[in-house]
Structure 1
């Protein structure tokens, strides 16, 4: 595999566009893999999040996924209808429900996570460990700059 050489005078805007294009490419690729399992990316986001922490309310789930509660509501309705997620009453709270995976939902989430891990292994996993560590450091630094910029606004 030949590695493209970055410019010695990297332009932040050019790097930004490359990063956005890469994000679109990998999102499309994993979307194809998930569709083969019968999942959309938003459905997988919900199922995989619930594998990490069941019992979230729709509001908590929306916050974790960086979407509105309205966006999550219809998605949860469809996942409940498909038998993948169930809503359980929260004692003392008549307005919210805790979200839990069904056995079928957990199985599908695990298969989706395996597909995602396989794709990452075939792509990002082939980068040299020291380069991957540098990339992670840069992504974390960028994340902190983005957070600080968002907090300043």
Structure 2
């Protein structure tokens, strides 16, 4: 690393939240790209994997419930689910007494692919974040939880 890329001496310069924010965003993009590449090897996009992994945790969700869990609109999830149904990974089942909504379930092939995608993510996390020692990982988690609470508070304002 040359001098222009060296980190500032923390004892001389205070930490700038905006600089931390930009580093966090760049890290998020790098991690997302790396995971997307691993999922692509399985024939999945990140949004497709999000649906499969969510349904692997809780089958029987409606499209509206799935959209809420994924923080997307019902319209966005509708087309995605349509494509996953066409691919034979998800199926819609009638909900007794509700003619408008259907419960979403993984097919056996969908379950296998969800499991493979979860394993790919677990491997990536083990190779990266999993290399932090327990103390640093705990501190990082504490900071993420604090930031999440601040973001929730800000959104509620």
TM-score by length of 1: 0.95
Aligned to 2:119: 114
Shift of 1:6: 7.5
After superposition, the C-alpha distances for 1:42-101 in whole angstroms (9 at most, x for unaligned) are 000000000000000000000000000000000000000000000000011111000000
Secondary structure of 1:96 counterpart = strand
Q: CA RMSD in A?
A: 1.2
Structure 1 runs of 4+ off > 2 angstroms? 4-8
Which consecutive residues of structure 1, in runs of 5 or more, have no partner in the other structure? none
- Which one of 115, 127, 132 corresponds to residue 127 of structure 1? 132
- Secondary structure, counterpart of 1:43 in structure 2: helix
Specify the alignment match of 1:23 in structure 2.
28
Q: 2:10 aligns with which of 7, 12, 15?
A: 7
Distance 1:5 1:83, change over 3 A: farther
Q: Which residue of 1 aligns with 2:53?
A: 48
* Pair 1:5–1:131, CA change in 2 (3 A): farther
Matched residue pairs, number? 149
1:136 pairs with one of 132, 138, 141: 141
Unaligned runs of 5+ in 2: 1-6
Q: Confirm whether residue 36 of structure 1 aligns to residue 57 of structure 2.
A: no
Determine helix, strand or coil for the equivalent of 1:25: helix
Pick closer, same or farther for the CA change 1:5–1:64 going to 2, 3 Å.
farther
1:70 equivalent in structure 2:
75
Give how far 1:7 is off. Answer: 3.3
Q: Structure 2 length normalisation: TM-score?
A: 0.93
Partner of 1:98: helix, strand, or coil?
Answer: strand
Return the index of the structure with the highest Cα Rg: 2
Residue aligning to 2:155: 150
The verdict on how the C-alpha distance between 1:100 and 1:14 changes in structure 2, with shifts beyond 3 A counting, is: same
